[in-house]
Structure 1
């Protein structure tokens, strides 16, 4: 079934996000688990379930979105993607630490605003 030009233009408009189960997600997951190495397309095909025919176009999209870097015949996770992942993990750890140890009542009370002080 044909689609109009506007819908066609929006098809790849995902801001570089990857969804679980996609070739892009599988490649990024593999590369993120091997951040200190770079791989050829053949090596990526052997290490993942992404077919050789899909590797090139997927890697180019990931490169254009800033997720991977390419030099010669080799591909690796980008430093930017590694930084974003590290920052996200840190933020999650900090948030989880607040859930594990709620502030003591006295500490919470010390930061509470007295409603009488906010009246004008």
Structure 2
């Protein structure tokens, strides 16, 4: 069934990760809890409750999506995911620290660069 253009524009296209309750979410959540360690499939299966038959294909999909790294018999959360998580956390902290401060629009405007000046 088609949707309206307005509804289409409201769709959040940002990848916020696997859907909670899925095998991918369980695996990624576990690995994110231990960013400085790598685990075998057996260890991941035991910790997450994901069956061995589902674990391998899910790990491969997570690797193809760039969310986990694989070497030998071991898997870990990717450096990229750790970097994104750190940046998101930092941005949230900065936003929260400015939440109750009044916006100094005039001061901001004084420091803003006029893009037209760059063309002269």
Q: Establish whether TM, by shorter chain, passes 0.5.
A: yes
Aligned residue pair count: 96
Q: What is the RMSD computed on CA atoms of the aligned residues?
A: 2.2
Following TM superposition, the consecutive aligned residue runs of length 4 or more in structure 1 with deviations greater than 2 angstroms are 14-17, 107-113
For 2:87 and 2:18, the matched residues in 1 are separated by 18
Q: Who is 2:6 aligned against? A: none
**Residues 1:49 and 2:49 are matched in the alignment:** yes
C-alpha deviation, 1:110, in angstroms: 4.0
Q: State the secondary structure of the residue aligned to 2:96.
A: helix
Q: Who is 1:27 aligned against? A: 27
> Larger radius of gyration, structure 1 or 2?
1
For 1:95 and 1:112, the matched residues in 2 are separated by 16
Q: State the secondary structure of the residue aligned to 2:39.
A: coil
C-alpha deviation, 1:94, in angstroms: 0.9
TM superposition score normalised by structure 1:
0.72
Which runs of 5 or more residues in structure 2 are unaligned? 1-13, 110-120
TM superposition score normalised by structure 2:
0.72
Distance verdict in 2 for CA 1:32–1:112, change over 3 Å: closer
